[in-house]
Amino acid sequence: ILNVEQSPQSLHVQEGDSTNFTCSFPSSNFYALHWYRWETAKSPEALFVMTLNGDEKKKGRISATLNTKEGYSYLYIKGSQPEDSATYLCAPRTSGGYQKVTFGTGTKLQVIP
């Protein structure tokens, strides 16, 4: 089982603030990293899949970076809006056969209007 850590556990920001949070994972046998957004009363929804060291993905005001050598990924939200309120989950994948998916416990973001 992978040791996946996300920090902070929760975060309150004012509307318009920019914020970021971290996903840490073992760097050995890295294959891919997924970010998901989980809004209350909805299903988790895929944001990004990242595979290469130095990868950077962007979707609107949300972007993510990846460092596979040190085993972390950052998710950034620029100019947070109330609709960004959600739990953000990361799930790394390792190489070497089909591994069970391990999700981090998530970062719960609350954007205050």
Residue with smaller CB distance to another protein, 3 or 18: 3
Which residue from 8, 3, 33 is spatially nearest to 22, judged by alpha carbons?
8
The residue ranges that bind another protein (CB under 8 A) are: 1, 31-32, 34, 36, 42-46, 49, 51, 89, 91, 93, 95, 98-106
Listed as own residue / partner, the contacts of 53-62 with beta carbons closer than 8 Å and 24 or more positions apart are: none
Which residue from 68, 25, 29, 37 is spatially nearest to 50, judged by alpha carbons?
68
Residue with smaller CB distance to another protein, 16 or 54: 54
Distance in Å, CB of 5 to another protein, minimum: 11
**∠ Cα 91 94 95 (to 5°):** 150
Distance in Å, CB of 20 to another protein, minimum: 20
Distance in Å, CB of 18 to another protein, minimum: 25
Residue 36 has, within 13 A of its CA and on its CB side, a CA count of 17
Distance in Å, CB of 14 to another protein, minimum: 26
Q: What is the CA radius of gyration of the chain?
A: 14
